[in-house]
Structures are given as C-alpha cells and as structure tokens.
Structure 1
Amino acid sequence: MLLPDSITTTKNSLVSFIKCQIRFAHKKVVSSKTHMQDSPGKRLGAKKYENHQVKIGQILYRQRGTKWYPGINVGIGKDHTLFALQPGFVKYYLDPFHPKRKFIGIALNKDDKLPYPHFEPTKRRLGRDVLDGKKAEFEANYLPRNVQILQPKINEELNKRIEKRNGKLLKFKDEIKKNFPNLSSSLTEEQLDLAANRLLSIDGYLRGGKSIDDARFSTTYYYIYDLKLSNKRNEISIDELNTKSSNYKEFASKIDSEIMFAPDFSLTKNLTFDELSSLKTKSFAELEKLIPDITKPINKKTKEHALSIINSVAFSLKEQIKLKRRFLKPTLPETNETIGNAKDKKVIAIQKMNIETRQVETIYRTKNAFLP
C-alpha cells in the first residue's frame, strides 16, 4: 500500500526525533552556599536561679517542651515558659509524689524548703504582696468601680439594718421590764443589755427555721466560742474564760426559764415541755369539740374562735398550718348542704371538668360552702 507524500514526511521526522531525544534531570541540583548567616539564639534556659528573689510575673525558665514543670506558686505559659505567681524565692526541687519530674517553685520565705509537706496546711499569700506606705493605704481603700457606684446604697442598707437591730434591742428591753417585772428587778443594766442581745440572737435563729431549743443552744455556743477566740488572741486569760463561760451559762438558764417566744415571735412566759404538751392536748380537744364535722359549714364566730385556739402558744407555725388546713378549709367538699341549683339565689357558679364524661360542667355552690 502506498502512503501519501505528506504522511511519509511526518513519519520520517518523528522517527528522527525519537532517535535524537536526550534525557534531562527533572529537578535542578542546588549546591550548598555559605553566606555566614544564622538565626539568632532563642535565649532558652534559666532566667532565675536558686534562692533568687522574684516578683509576681517574672520569668523563671524558658524552654521548648516541659523539661521543668511548674511547682508551688509557679505558672506555665503556652510556650512552656515558667513564671512566678507569688513574690518569694526560687527553688529547684524534686517531688517524691512525682519522681520523674523536675520542678521549679517559689518559696514565700528564703529558709523554706520545697516541696512543703503534702498533708500540712498550705502556706499562702492569697495573691497579694506585702505593701508599705501609700501603696498599702491605697490597697486597703481600693474598691472596684461597680462597688464604688453601689457603696452609698450599701451603706444606707447597712444603716437601716443597724437601726432595725437597735430598735429590736430596745423593744426586748422594754418588754422584759413591762411583762417580767420580777426578772427585770433582779438584773443590772448590763445584764439587761445581755439578756436583750440573747433574745435578739434567739429571734434570728427562730426566724431562720430552728426550734427554740436549737436556737438557745446555738446562742450559748457562739457566745462562749467568741470568748475562746478572745483567749487565743490573749485578750483574756484562761481563768477569765472559764469564769465568764460558767457565769453566762447560769445567766442563760435563768433567762430561758422565764422567757420564751410565741409562734408569732412575741415574748411570753416560758413553758416546760410537759406544760406545753398538756396545753397542746387540751387545745386540740377543744378544736375537735368546736368543729366535730369538718364537712359541714361553720359561721364567722366559730371561725374566729378556732383561729384563737390555733394561734395560741401551744402550736408551732407548722402545726398551725396543718390545723388550719384540717379544720378551716377554704372550700368544703360537695355535699347536699353545699350544692345548689341555678334557680336558687345567692349561689356561685363554678366551672369544673368532669373526668368521666370529659366535659366541662357548671356546678352551683352555696355561699356557706366557702369559709366566711
């Protein structure tokens, strides 16, 4: 078969190109060059050594990776730099609880050895340095801006609280003189102030939900605890502590035997446990006699009489609430006496869901179905 001249020429040139092809490298070879240039040193290593005194924020050690770990009062940055969290003295040490690690810590005193014993109270400076002169005065008087703005209101509320407390103290002193003349005649003015303070403390515990016995115990306990703190501060001797403690216990028993708090937090004559129990039994029997059937309506006079019995000294606040729910129901159950018709006068229409029919029904209740 014969090929055209153009095809024959192209074939011959392709064959000659293949025969003359030379293989070259894919990448250029780069020779080494020396220009006497190098990157600057990173200045890694220790910046403070053993027993060097440092301030808060000073760098102790720069490193790549945690060759040295942050110890007591030392922090670590994201580039593993160790820095001081407290002013003190640098210590390089090992910790027996972490035998494979080396630590750098800050001791608050130069003679301290790290680590501190693990099961002893930690020595702390609470993040504040010891200042002198004007700096100390500025630090003592410093307040955040939001506190400075609210400071007048805070002082106003504190003054109101102090005035209220002083008003209560005067009220208790007057009530002791007026309602307990035999007791007040046997007390000096100083003892009268002490009695008023004791009653004020008991009143606070009662309003917080404690019983009268717990309130009395807590008041005595914390008064004697303050005396013990005064003894630790060397303000009173151990003999004075024992004498004042015994005297206060006798004084407290004398006040508690005469005065107690009623459920409405008013002062009343103290009752023993047996007297209180008998009064409670008697009052409950009187209530059952007054309202024998809790499903029947009562009049206004019966309601007021029942309230006077329930609100007596015999019952606590919780017991009063239970008795009111039992004997003085706001709405009586549905009986023939408390259900009326639409035609009746003086009835109240109430919408009620009927569970069986799943429909809302209108029920007419007489007025005596509700507490007068």
Structure 2
Amino acid sequence: MSLFRLGSGSYHPSGSILQITALKNVVQIRTATKKVSGSKTNKNDSAGRRLGPKVHEGNFVKPGQIIMRQRGSKIHPGENVKIGIDHTVYAVEPGYVHFYHDPFHPLRKYVGVSLKKNLPLPTPHFAPRVRRFGYELIEDPSEAVKEEQHMSRKEYLYQPKLDELSKAREENKSNLLSKFNEFISKELSLELGAKDLNLTLERYYNVHELVKLKGMSVESAETQTTYNYVHSLKLAKARGDLSSEEFEDSLAHYHDLVDQLSKKITVDATGALTKYLSAEEKASRKDEIIEKLETEYSNRVLSIQDKIFVGDLIATPGVFDVAEREDLAKKYLPLVVPLTVPGSVIENIDARKPPKGVIVQRIFDEATRSTRVVGRPKEVFATQ
C-alpha cells in the first residue's frame, strides 16, 4: 500500500510533486525536468568568396587574367579562354571580353576574348578562325637587325656555353669526316670527285648521327638520310634555286651514287664506317663467332685478356646489331659469373685472412637451407 504525506508539498511515489491547495478540486502537478541550454555554433561568420565577373564587357585582358569566378559553370568558357578546376574562367590570349550566346547551345551563356575590339563573338560556324601570330613587318633595316639579334637574358647568359658546345660539335664533326675520308680513300680505294666526296661524307655523317645518337637501325637511318636529301632538293626546286632539269639530274645522280656506295660501305652498330657484307657473308660470320664463343669461352672464368678478346669478337664491325651485342655480352660477359661455373667458387676459405685476389661472400645453400662463407676470384666480377 502506497502512502503519501499530506501537506503543502507532498511526494508521490512516481517522483512528481503534488501540491494540494485550499481548493480541493484543483491539483497542480510539477514534473521533474531540467532546462537544456542551447549553443551557438556559427559564432564567427566567414568572409565572402568574391565571386562574380572580374572583367566586364568590352574591357581589355591579358593572357592569364581572370575574367570570372563562380561556383559551377554558370558562365561557360568560349573562344580564347579556359576554365580551371574551380570553374574560374581566364584568358589565354590578349583581347577584349565579350559575353554571348552560342546558337548551338542556346541555353548556355559564354564568355570569350575577341582579338579585335570590333570583332563579334561567336565566330560564324564556317568562317576561318582568327588567330594571333604576334608578328609585325619591320620596315627599318636597322630595327630588323636589332630584332634578329635580340635574345632573352637566359639566352645571353648561356651564350658562352652554347658557343663552346657548338665549337666542340664542329671539331668532332671535322675529326669524324677526316676518318671517313681516310677509310674511303685508303681501305676501299674509291676515287670520287670533290662533289661526290662531299655528298658521300655528308651522307654517312648523317647516318652516323641517326644510328649512334638516335638509336635507329642502319637500314632506317640510310632510308631517312636519303629522304632528307631528296626533300631538300624538292624545297630548292620550289624556291626556284633549281630548275626542273637540274632537279631531275641531281636526283638521278644522287641515287646512282647511293647505289654504288651501298655495295661497298656501310655503318655498324656504333656508327663507324665498315666494309659492306652481304646477307650470306654476315650470317656465316655470325655463326663462326658464336661457335668460337661457345666452344672456347663458355662455362669458365675468363681472364682480363680473354674478356677483352671476347668483347672484340662481339663488337666485330658490321656483323651484330645493338640488340644482338647486348644478348651476347649478357651470356659471355656477365656482370657476375654464376656459382655453377667451374672455378668460380673457392671452398674452405678463411674469412678473416682471404688469399690475394679472392673476395669473401656469403651465399645461401639450397640443399642445406643455410648460409655458408665462400671465396670468389676477382675475375668472376665484370668490374675487376
């Protein structure tokens, strides 16, 4: 049985407070509550992002100048402008700003840069595109010479280095052409006129550059060199430097000279001149060298003299190309001789006092699943 005390302020078993006044038919109940205080989260207001147009209709802008800042593509990029990742529209050419509608997209509004103030946008669909070349004709000869000799500060400061590199390149070319001339005159005993000799030297110098510096094959380099010379003849004819008859004569003479030289001279993988070898001769020479390498220099530790000899065999002029030379060098001149090669491992060695010319190594033995200390001669390493 629940009890409660009567009075001005009595307690009810539920936790509520009952107040009984003199009016017996009026009862006031006040429940147990707690007032919750609110909090203001946005105490500090952030600054505005300054969105909107930065340059208005008809105003001049420079490349890179911002035209419009926005959230989303409310204004789409038109001619001579680009849009950034935050939808900022900026100019890429100097000109005048124009806001316009494109007939192909009537619901979009565009902004573009017109190269001339009175040039409307958009450009008609089939009209030629207006481009800025940035060149003006200089009538004054002195001003023209001054403009030709003008260079930036970086170019001016780097000029001595450029002159030095150019001088070294010309000296290298002169030495190379003299070697080519000596090879052609002495070893091949070819008698060429001054004009044909210059054509020959220039041709093989260009082939040398394409093979050695560009990494092209000899066949591709020769084809490219022929194409370049024929193209230069066509340009000379177009300029009026050669007549049609002179062009035909020069072209025929060059092809005859190339046919004559291609059966006597070629370029090897290093870019040096060498005697021409037919396909049968080249295949026979390859088989002979590979057989010699396999029988005499395979599966053994090579001395320094043997390594030099094997390298000379692999680099025989006109026989192997670059890829074949790399494959042969990996097989017969490895960076480290495998452990399976006889004489490449010395067992029972004192690691603290190894013999002279022996390098101590720790190797993992697959059979015992353990590490053991062995000695290896210096000859097994390519750097020794």
Give the letter aligned to residue 328 of structure 1: L
Give the structure 1 partner of residue 200 of structure 2. Answer: 195
Give the structure 2 partner of residue 321 of structure 1. Answer: 326
Following superposition of structure 1 onto structure 2, how do residues 185-264 of structure 1 map, counting pairs within 5 Å? Answer: 185=191, 187-207=192-212, 208-264=214-270
| 2:218–2:269 Cα contact (<8 Å) kept | no
C-alpha distance in 2 between matches for 1:130 and 1:220: 37
Give the letter aligned to residue 325 of structure 1: K
Q: Alpha carbon RMSD of aligned pairs, Å? A: 4.6
CA deviation after TM superposition for structure 1 residue 199, in Å: 0.6
CA deviation after TM superposition for structure 1 residue 225, in Å: 1.2
C-alpha distance in 2 between matches for 1:86 and 1:143: 23
Give the structure 2 partner of residue 30 of structure 1. Answer: none
Give the structure 2 partner of residue 341 of structure 1. Answer: 348
What is the TM-score when the length of structure 2 is the normalising length? 0.63
Distance 1:123 1:282, change over 3 A: farther
| 2:93–2:113 Cα contact (<8 Å) kept | no
CA deviation after TM superposition for structure 1 residue 363, in Å: 1.4
CA deviation after TM superposition for structure 1 residue 190, in Å: 0.9
Distance 1:233 1:368, change over 3 A: closer
Give the structure 2 partner of residue 155 of structure 1. Answer: 163
| 2:362–2:373 Cα contact (<8 Å) kept | yes
Give the letter aligned to residue 124 of structure 1: R
| 1:297–1:332 Cα contact (<8 Å) kept | no
Give the structure 2 partner of residue 352 of structure 1. Answer: 362
C-alpha distance in 2 between matches for 1:129 and 1:303: 64
Q: Deviations over 1:177-206 (max 9, x none)?
A: 12221x2x2x21011011000010000011
Distance 1:84 1:150, change over 3 A: closer
What is the TM-score when the length of structure 1 is the normalising length? 0.64
Give the structure 2 partner of residue 6 of structure 1. Answer: none
| 1:349–1:365 Cα contact (<8 Å) kept | yes
Percent identity (aligned): 24
User: Aligned pair count?
Assistant: 310
| 1:262–1:268 Cα contact (<8 Å) kept | yes
Distance 1:244 1:86, change over 3 A: farther
Following superposition of structure 1 onto structure 2, how do residues 19-38 of structure 1 map, counting pairs within 5 Å? Answer: none
Listed as ranges, the gaps of 5+ residues in structure 1 are: 1-43, 49-54
- Please identify which structure carries the higher helix content: 1
What secondary structure is seen at the aligned counterpart in 2 of 1:340?
coil
C-alpha distance in 1 between matches for 2:127 and 2:362: 68
| 1:303–1:328 Cα contact (<8 Å) kept | yes
C-alpha distance in 1 between matches for 2:315 and 2:185: 25
Distance 1:126 1:350, change over 3 A: farther
Distance 1:188 1:358, change over 3 A: same
Listed as ranges, the gaps of 5+ residues in structure 2 are: 1-54
Distance 1:360 1:126, change over 3 A: farther
Give the structure 1 partner of residue 154 of structure 2. Answer: 146
| 2:98–2:112 Cα contact (<8 Å) kept | yes
Give the letter aligned to residue 320 of structure 1: R
What secondary structure is seen at the aligned counterpart in 1 of 2:263?
helix
C-alpha distance in 2 between matches for 1:169 and 1:155: 21
| 1:173–1:193 Cα contact (<8 Å) kept | no
CA deviation after TM superposition for structure 1 residue 256, in Å: 1.6
| 2:365–2:372 Cα contact (<8 Å) kept | no
| 1:332–1:370 Cα contact (<8 Å) kept | no
C-alpha distance in 2 between matches for 1:247 and 1:259: 18
Q: Deviations over 1:287-346 (max 9, x none)?
A: 22223xx33334556545433422213222332232222123442424664323226855
CA deviation after TM superposition for structure 1 residue 232, in Å: 2.8
What secondary structure is seen at the aligned counterpart in 1 of 2:240?
coil
CA deviation after TM superposition for structure 1 residue 215, in Å: 0.8
C-alpha distance in 2 between matches for 1:135 and 1:270: 55
| 1:347–1:366 Cα contact (<8 Å) kept | yes
Distance 1:143 1:278, change over 3 A: same
Give the letter aligned to residue 231 of structure 1: K
What secondary structure is seen at the aligned counterpart in 1 of 2:151?
coil
CA deviation after TM superposition for structure 1 residue 165, in Å: 2.0
Give the structure 2 partner of residue 7 of structure 1. Answer: none
Q: Deviations over 1:234-259 (max 9, x none)?
A: 33334433332232222112122111
Give the letter aligned to residue 177 of structure 2: L
Equivalent of residue 300 in structure 2, options 296, 303, 326: 296
| 1:107–1:113 Cα contact (<8 Å) kept | no
What secondary structure is seen at the aligned counterpart in 2 of 1:252?
helix
C-alpha distance in 1 between matches for 2:249 and 2:58: 60
Following superposition of structure 1 onto structure 2, how do residues 86-165 of structure 1 map, counting pairs within 5 Å? Answer: 97-98=104-105, 115=123, 122=129, 124-133=131-140, 136-165=144-173
1:309 partnered with 2:313: yes
